[in-house]
Amino acid sequence: MNEYYQTKWRRFISNKKAHPFFKLGKAPAKRDKRNILFSAVLKVLPEVPSQWDFDSDMAKQPIPTPMFANDWLGDCVIAGRAHMTIHFEYFEQGGTILPITDKIVINEYKREGGRMSGQEGLILLDSLNQWRKKGWKIGRHNYKIYAFTEVSRTRTDEVKVAVRYLNGAYVGLALPDSWRDQMDRGQPWDIVPGPSGNPNPQSGHCVYVCGYTSKGPVCITWGRKQSMTWKFFTTCSDEVYAIVDNRNRFTKNSPVDLIKLQSILSSL
């Protein structure tokens, strides 16, 4: 974690009154056989660098990582979408940072059925379908995604391709009980021995993965960057999606077969 994010994190954890806890908020994973598999629309599985991060390899300035009310409201599904949208539009609009506010995130969370008690959380797959079909309002513009595909949770090569060539991955986790202590200590999430290291289905959380190292993915969550090991990711992730944000502004070296993807979308 670079000095910029270390400073943000020190300020964050020092303000116990304003940020007394972190809220979880992803409902258990929902499966749908109609999901398009990422592997089915890849032309090839291209080589990727050993490490890559949107902020350091694509951005010319630090990209903000707001909390988006996820310290008191279980809106991580929409907060993760917000971080992903900021990065997507930074890429597509040549460095513009969208002014997404807590209010915008909270309104979308409530529109999709999220409760202010924050107890139930949103279903990630249902929210993705909302994002693709209806979009969400940010200022005067309605932002939709073109398509989403399901990535194999155990294929780290697919995850790396999604992060590198599609500017990130949208990930659901069943966090083990050890996550909080590791985060408080500034450590990567990793599997520890004993029951506290087992995935907990009651601790569903959604994150935006914006990069990876040789040791594992790097995500944005709760107002900061958090790294994790590949073992943690393959053990605790229960949903991983690669998103094609805008077909008309797609990266030139895309490994995705857009013609095949369009054909599958038309048949759904």
For the chain, domain boundaries: 23-267
Mark 213-240 as b/e (b = at least 16 C-beta within 10 Å). Answer: eeebbbbbbbbbbbbbbbebbbbbbbbb
Q: What is the mean pLDDT of residues 103-110?
A: 96
Residue range 215-230: mean pLDDT, rounded: 97
Q: How far is CA 237 from the centre of its chain?
A: 11
Q: Which of 14-18, 144-148, 244-248 has the lowest mean pLDDT?
A: 14-18
pLDDT at 226 over 70: yes
- Confidence bin at 206 (pLDDT 50/70/90): very high
Q: Any idea which architecture 23-267 has in CATH?
A: Alpha-Beta Complex (3.90)
Confidence of residue 250 (pLDDT cuts 50, 70, 90): low
Rounded average pLDDT over 155-180: 96
pLDDT of the residue at 18 = 40
Confidence class of residue 161 from pLDDT cuts 50, 70 and 90? very high
> What is the model's pLDDT at position 118?
58
In this model, does residue 34 exceed pLDDT 70?
yes
Distance CA 242, CA 161 (A): 9
**268 or 241: which leads in pLDDT:** 241
C-beta of residue 42 within 8 angstroms of C-beta of residue 159: no
Token pair for residue 154?
């155990």
Residue in the structure block whose two tokens are 């997507």: 88
Dihedral of CA atoms 67, 72, 76, 82 in degrees, nearest 10, equals -40
266 vs 208 pLDDT, higher one: 208
* Whether pLDDT at 233 is above 50: yes
C-alpha 196/C-alpha 28 separation (Å) is 19
Average pLDDT, the chain: 89
User: Is pLDDT larger for residue 249 or for residue 163?
Assistant: 163
Band (pLDDT 50/70/90 cuts) for residue 95 is: confident
Between CA 216 and CA 132 the distance in angstroms is 28
Q: How confident is the model at residue 107, as a pLDDT? A: 96
Residue matched to tokens 């890559």: 52
pLDDT single digits (tens) 38-74: 999 999 899 999 999 999 998 888 899 999 999 999 9
pLDDT: is 11 or 117 the higher one?
Answer: 117
pLDDT of residue 251: 62
